[in-house]
Amino acid sequence: MTEAIEETTDRIELGRRPDSDTEDFFRYIGDPDLPFIRTDFQYQHVDSQLYGLDGRIEAGYGSWGIQFRHTHYEERKPDDSLGLTGIHGLFRVSWSEKLELGLGLGGILLDGDGEKGGFSATFPVNLYPHRRFSLRFAPALSHINGNPLSDYDLSVGVVCQCFSLRSGYRWLTADSETINGPYIGVSIHY
């Protein structure tokens, strides 16, 4: 584990990416992996009566980070809403600019007809087959009052310096209830 932390920290280069399109070992300012700070904003279409707005902030340095994520679902008929808020301390490792793995532990708060909280874990995987293209899978498994809640988020992104355009699909399941649908969004990373 110590070696993974050292290699991840060694990747951080506090400068601008050279103008050439060559790939190297370092993580430069504005790259999407191992962000110092990243914000994500997404709109999810569930059906004609239900949609979700999602925001996430991640901050960190090297292997250590923190993530705050809030999703607000709004239903038109009947007029109802649901909020889902999670906060995780993150352990992130990356040996190259092609792959970033994470483990996050923290808590979750579900706000609907009342507030309920519980334990949550997330296991984000970011794959960069090309420096202009990304794949992200970010599952989160939670327990609220002994009831499991699973959240699976799968997306692709087009990456530019300091921002990305994303499209994906998200499944949120609690007992027999599921909220799922496609989303579009933007990420800003520094």
Sign of CA dihedral 101, 21, 12, 37: negative
pTM given for the model: 0.89
Phi, psi of 112 (to 5 degrees): -135, -105
Asked if 83 contacts 69 with a C-beta cutoff of 8 angstroms, the reply is: no
* Local confidence pLDDT in tens for the 190 residues of the chain: 788 888 888 888 777 776 666 667 788 889 999 999 999 999 999 999 999 999 999 999 999 999 999 999 999 888 899 999 999 999 999 988 899 999 999 999 999 878 899 999 999 999 999 989 999 999 999 999 999 999 999 999 999 999 999 999 999 999 888 999 999 999 999 9
CA distance 120 to 188: 25
Q: Give the chain's largest Cα–Cα span.
A: 54
**DSSP assignment string, 96-141:** ETTEEEEEEEEEEEEESSSEEEEEEEE--EEEEEETTEEEEE--EE
For residue 82, give the nearest of 120, 124, 53, 42 by alpha carbon: 53
